[in-house]
Structure 1
């Protein structure tokens, strides 16, 4: 087993990059920086696979340099969807912050495993990157084995292609095409599911449902909500009548209402209006309820 040695430079850079990316994404003052997008892309597209490759292949002779990069990209393609699949069936879902935290934890964990496995090898056999050595090796290769003009052109084309692909991907992610603007409007039972809605009432008895709104309009929107029974307005708390939401923000709260008159198979409506149209509902939901006379 190897004695004390410095933490491998490549793993240190990976861990540092993960930490800085988290800072740029999670700190509000930095989250609008253009660096946030590019750092996030690099974290998603390469670092988890590189860390996993380091954990699986800790020795220098396991892989050549170009093979290690290729294996890292291949492993990354497998790892990221698996993490996304796990998040999709968790309470957090596939959202930016849970995905960032999941990828960060996986990458740092694999860095720790890679470091441990390299320490089990003699220092001369463990994989590591020395930028000074790489520079002198490249210089020696250029002096001793000058490339032909065709090789240089092919290498240049390959480099430009990679840079163009990464630049295009970064632009697409950083400037996504806007979809069709819409607003989610939904009603849930008191247990938070699309079932067990209150449908049987005694006149004057209160009922409760959960109303949710999510703004996908690509702009801030002021909403107004109204509850009607057979086209007659029912009173609801003032703080639940008006809701202002930024794009991609949501609002979900219990709404309590009281049917004021009796009847069978009556239409209970939940109407949502936008600030641009106060007369015609933008979205509407309804339940059919029965209200009997108080005994």
Structure 2
């Protein structure tokens, strides 16, 4: 193998593998950031351009490098889109492996092309050629346009990288609140039941509020109708079934790991009166004492109204009870 003609592709593959090593075994290493920028913004487009335009006279050097940036910005999101429809999803490790495999595949094809075709393109450090490429007065309009785009792209990439590194990371604060059927799946809920029959569901919580939180879950049985003429909800009957209190420590969000439960509780209930009912699970979070007390002390009808408007985090089951 002629390393003089393939050193650039081999070097890109080695740098990509090195970045993978840092991500897997030394994620805090600063080289992860230094290698990550060209890995995303330059390497995929560069190896792809070498396959599309493999001969020396196909493109000028400045055009190749400019298109390498542009194509990388297009290729990486497409890889992410494909992963989104796969079982792996858009997560760090699948994205890293997918981009690395893309780079290795097209680098191998590029190396093969340079060995088999006549007059292949490969990077050569030639001062006179560099002067000609950047000679503004004699350059074509296309060369000038691509030069400007290349400079702007590089500057924006450096600015974005600096901002991401220096800006404080503020994680979104939220609580996962969910209901599962008796088998622990998000289906097969007890929506068609018999009066006085025992029914079971699973209530779950995961705390991502950034601190320990005292939770209060109120379970209400409600009979309501919606008057479309006056755009008003009418509550004819409601009563409190249960109140569940639990305190949970904060759990950091980690999209690189599989989801795991934090708190789940089997909840058993029965319906004493036939008819169409709504079972509401209202979640109150004691992250702000004043707001918590205000919401807890509202009238029952006001709580349901706020839940309907999304002002109180809530879940609902429509239940048809038969004699």
* TM-score normalised to structure 1 length: 0.69
Alpha-carbon distance in structure 1 between the residues aligned to 2:61 and 2:83: 33
Gaps of 5+ in 1: none
Q: Is 1:11 aligned with 2:9?
A: yes
Structure 1 residues 276 and 251: alpha-carbon distance in aligned structure 2, compared to 1, 3 A threshold: farther
Q: Secondary structure at the match of 2:212?
A: strand
In the alignment, is the contact (CA less than 8 A) between 1:21 and 1:36 conserved in 2?
yes
Please state how far the C-alpha of 1:107 moved relative to its aligned partner: 1.3
Q: Is 1:205 aligned with 2:198?
A: yes
Gaps of 5+ in 2: 139-143, 221-239, 297-311
Structure 1 residues 80 and 256: alpha-carbon distance in aligned structure 2, compared to 1, 3 A threshold: same
Count residues with an aligned counterpart: 267
The aligned runs of 1:92-171 (5 Å cut-off) are 92-121=88-117, 125-129=119-123, 134=125, 137-138=126-127, 164-171=155-162
Q: Secondary structure at the match of 1:221?
A: coil
In the alignment, is the contact (CA less than 8 A) between 1:118 and 1:126 conserved in 2?
yes
Please list the CA deviations of residues 209-253 of structure 1 after superposition, one character each: whole Å capped at 9, or x if unmatched: 4636473x5xx33344555434354679xxx86353124576547
1:229 to 214, 219, 225: 219
Alpha-carbon distance in structure 1 between the residues aligned to 2:271 and 2:179: 23
Alpha-carbon distance in structure 2 between the residues aligned to 1:273 and 1:226: 7
Please list the CA deviations of residues 107-131 of structure 1 after superposition, one character each: whole Å capped at 9, or x if unmatched: 1111122122222225xx233335x
* TM-score normalised to structure 2 length: 0.64
Please state how far the C-alpha of 1:79 moved relative to its aligned partner: 1.3
Q: CA RMSD in A?
A: 4.2
In the alignment, is the contact (CA less than 8 A) between 1:209 and 1:256 conserved in 2?
yes
Structure 1 residues 42 and 149: alpha-carbon distance in aligned structure 2, compared to 1, 3 A threshold: closer
In the alignment, is the contact (CA less than 8 A) between 1:224 and 1:274 conserved in 2?
yes
Alpha-carbon distance in structure 2 between the residues aligned to 1:70 and 1:108: 21
Please state how far the C-alpha of 1:86 moved relative to its aligned partner: 1.3
Q: Which residue of 2 aligns with 1:257?
A: 267
